[in-house]
Amino acid sequence: MTSGESFEKSVIEVDGVQFETLMPERTFSIPVEPLSPDGNMDIPVQLGIRITNNTPMPFRFSSYGRLTPELMGADSQLLPSIFLRIRRLKPKESYFLLAMPEESITFFPNARLIWSKRVHQLKISIAKGTGGYWNFDILNPGEYHVRFIYRNENEVDRINDRGQEGTKPTLLERLWTGRVITPFVKFCIVSS
């Protein structure tokens, strides 16, 4: 965190577009006793980004490889992440949401808090739209902060929803371009 950043600010606006980190539930209780017979735990975490288009023009925003999560510990240090690709997903039109003027859209990538008894490791895993997961090791209960980097460099993207050879790809236009770092949101992991 730089000296100019604040944990109190919840929204950042760039060129008339607002970006906000969403995390409705912010306290996660990790039981001392295992949740399942095998001693593993898997808790869904609702984590995402809200984008509000305050410009007079409609824009598309994409969850296809445009969101990169960052986690920070109580010591104000960013936690290292490991990206594991499960498979390569093809872009679909549903990954490119259209936000009309004064309209908001949200992206909630699949996120989970996972305890693996085999390796005695607690981690948070956040899906990437192209296939795979960002994994962050969380060593202890405590306070953490999360945010997203949204980055898109192309005003146009191609999709082929049918996936059949010989079909023409569809061009999606009016993609918002730019790079934004959303404000951090604090969450806590406690032992129960």
130's torsion region: left (phi>0), alpha (psi -120 to 50) or beta? alpha
> Residue written as tokens 């899906």?
127
pLDDT of the residue at 153: 93
Segments of the chain assigned E as strands: 11-14, 17-22, 27-30, 41-44, 48-53, 59-62, 67-73, 81-84, 96-99, 103-107, 111-116, 121-127, 133-138, 142-152, 157-159, 170-172, 178-181, 185-191
Per-residue DSSP letters for 112-148? EEEEETTTTEEEEEEE-TTS-EEEEEE-SSEEEEEEE
Count of CB atoms situated within 10 Å of the CB of 66: 24
Q: How far apart, in whole angstroms, are the C-alpha atoms of residue 133 and residue 124?
A: 10
CA 33-34-40 angle, to 5 degrees, is 155
- Please state the domain extents for the chain: 11-191
**Which residue from 103, 106, 100, 89 is spatially nearest to 24, judged by alpha carbons?**
106
Residue 8: pLDDT over 80: no
CATH fold of 11-191, please? Immunoglobulin-like (2.60.40)
> 150-185, pLDDT tens digit by residue?
999 999 888 876 655 656 778 889 999 999 999 999
In the prediction, which pLDDT does 167 show? 67
* Predicted structure pTM score: 0.85
Tens of pLDDT along 109-131? 999 998 877 767 789 999 998 88
Position 33 confidence tier, pLDDT thresholds 50, 70, 90: low
